[in-house]
Amino acid sequence: MRHKGNLDGIASRDWVTTMLERATSIPGWMSVAELTWLSEQAKRHRRIVEVGSFMGRSTVALAETLGIVYAVDTFQGSEEHRGFLSCAPPYFLLEKFRANLRPEIESGKVRMIVAKSVDAGRSMLETPDMVFIDGAHDFKSLMHDILTWRRILVPDGLLCGHDYENGTSPDIGQAVRLAVPGFQVMQGGSIWYWPPTSVNASIEEPETVHA
């Protein structure tokens, strides 16, 4: 006879497998370890803002929250996507995102905000308790994103972002080091986060502390 604890563990593994299978079927650059980290953090937060959703790979992980995910994106791509999107039909990213997140959009769990990050931050009525930034990767854009959303994040809320020192853009490391003193980086991935106390130590021990 199986104990309830064993059944809970099996159910948890099945949930993670299902989420990862769905997320990794969507084009994007986030690793399995990073998707798992995001989903675990999302379960501990209720009002999540994602800046830069692309086709929804990371949004699937964030949608494991019991609350709401606000997906903020122009859905026109960033500078690094220009070549890829030059041959794509109009509204390609927008329609891909809607198709990939259809169940969550229809249920209201994921709410699309089609706008520039700074504009969305200025008009945001909800106060997020988690913000994940993965928008434009140039220094100026990332600085604006961090400063905009950090101002309206709840006290002790989780501010995090993707592609720290993974070769994507040197601007990311420069902006994060300047704008987010004391940030840390998840083990086995390139997600930076702040403050350290906002992350469950049982999920990830910090790899590096940056002053």
Strands (E), 94-172: 110-114, 130-133, 158-161
Q: How confident is the model at residue 202 (pLDDT cuts 50, 70, 90)?
A: very low
Kindly state the tokens that stand for 33. 């370890």
pLDDT tens profile 88-130: 777 889 999 999 999 999 999 999 999 999 999 999 999 999 9
Q: What is the pTM of this model?
A: 0.85
Q: Which phi-psi region, left, alpha or beta, contains residue 17 (left: φ > 0; alpha: ψ -120 to 50)?
A: alpha
Q: How confident is the model at residue 3 (pLDDT cuts 50, 70, 90)?
A: very low
Which of 184, 158, 151, 186 has its CA nearest to residue 67?
A: 158
Q: How confident is the model at residue 13 (pLDDT cuts 50, 70, 90)?
A: low
pLDDT tens profile 16-32: 788 999 999 999 989 99
pLDDT tens profile 139-197: 999 999 999 999 999 999 999 999 999 888 899 999 999 999 999 999 999 999 999 77
Distance CA 156, CA 133 (A): 17
pLDDT at site 198: 73
**CA angle at residue 143 from 205 to 185, to 5 degrees?**
10
Is a pLDDT exceeding 90 seen at residue 79?
no
Q: What type of residue sits at position 162?
A: H
